[in-house]
Amino acid sequence: MSRNNQFGSAFEAILYPSLLVLTMWLVFWADHLFPEIDFYKFGIKPYEISSLKGILLMPLIHAKNEIGHIVNNSPPTFILLAAIIFYYKEIAFKVFALSWLLTGIGVWVFAANNNSFHIGMSGVVYAMAAFLFTSGVIRKYKPLQAISLFVAFIYGGMIWGVFPIKEQVSWEGHLAGMLVGVILALIYRKKGPQAPKFLYEIEKELGIEPPDLEGEYNEKVRIETERLAEIERVRRAEQEFRARNEEHRARVQSVGQEKGIRIVYDYKEKPKGSEKKEE
């Protein structure tokens, strides 16, 4: 699968986050437009059955008198959701929907009930950031690793938000979101974009035994070594044979000269009447 086919549409990666951020601001505007309605009560109050609706509505509601709340949540909401839609198009909706629901459930179940309501998109932001970071690390795919490093560099300071440092900050929502993001990254690690596989990895998955190239090379080297050794052995044997033969000739010639016998090793046809040569 090519890289382009694994990734999503840039248009969708801009459209859907923009609509979500726009919805957040419309709700914030409605909160000021209808002051008789306490929008914060649509958030989550832990353990309260009447507050279960907050699991769905909590991320859209922000502090009415603290514009910095929605201002701080808007850019990461857009950027992180856009990254998920573009880089994880196959599982983007599942990851975002589960981040939204499970973070809310985590707050409703595990947060302390101190008569306060949990509101804001920050829990979902933590879930998306944790998913992008963890997924990029475990998939070992360079484009996703780059996103992981980007998240760590830009939003690494968010880690302090999971500790009860500020009283008005829903650290339980942040912690729930972070845990949800990590868990989703592990659950969906085999889905979505994957690092390209080498041929030997595909053959291994298909049960095809890869050729033992090293063994074949070593066998060829062994055969060639034996061949060269045999050639060298034959060459030395020939040299030894020639040396012994020359030594034998010299000894025979010496004996023949002592006895007055002429030794001839090459037989040639002679004209009639010529002198007969003796071996």
Q: Are residues 48 and 134 in the same domain?
A: yes
- The pLDDT of residue 251: 76
- The pLDDT of residue 3: 52
Please say if the pLDDT value at position 147 is more than 70: yes
- The pLDDT of residue 18: 98
Q: Are residues 178 and 233 in the same domain?
A: no
Of the residues 176, 205, 234, which one is the last residue of a structural domain? Answer: 205
CATH number at residue 29: 1.20.1540.10
Q: Which domain holds residue 155?
A: 3-205
Q: Are residues 124 and 258 in the same domain?
A: no
Start-to-end Cα distance in the chain: 87
Q: Are residues 24 and 66 in the same domain?
A: yes
Q: Are residues 109 and 156 in the same domain?
A: yes
Of the residues 183, 205, 227, which one is the last residue of a structural domain? Answer: 205
* Mean pLDDT, range 241-254, rounded to an integer: 78
- The pLDDT of residue 17: 97
Q: Are residues 188 and 248 in the same domain?
A: no
- The pLDDT of residue 250: 77
Backbone angles phi, psi at 37, to 5 degrees: -100, 125
Please say if the pLDDT value at position 275 is more than 80: no
Q: Are residues 220 and 149 in the same domain?
A: no
Q: Are residues 160 and 22 in the same domain?
A: yes
The pLDDT-based confidence of 199 (bands split at 50, 70, 90) is low
The pLDDT-based confidence of 279 (bands split at 50, 70, 90) is very low
Task: Please state which of the ranges 4-13, 202-211, 212-221, 238-247 shows the lowest mean pLDDT.
Answer: 202-211
Average pLDDT score, the chain: 86
Q: Are residues 215 and 177 in the same domain?
A: no
- The pLDDT of residue 69: 95
* Mean pLDDT, range 98-108, rounded to an integer: 97
Please say if the pLDDT value at position 148 is more than 80: yes
- The pLDDT of residue 48: 94
- The total number of structural domains in the chain stands at 2
Of the residues 145, 176, 205, which one is the last residue of a structural domain? Answer: 205
- The pLDDT of residue 273: 54
Report pLDDT digits (tens) over 45-75. Answer: 999 999 999 999 999 999 999 999 999 999 9
Q: Are residues 161 and 140 in the same domain?
A: yes
- The pLDDT of residue 67: 94
Q: Are residues 19 and 48 in the same domain?
A: yes
Report pLDDT digits (tens) over 158-182. Answer: 889 999 888 888 999 999 999 999 9
Q: Are residues 115 and 78 in the same domain?
A: yes
**Residue type at 112?**
A
- The pLDDT of residue 132: 96
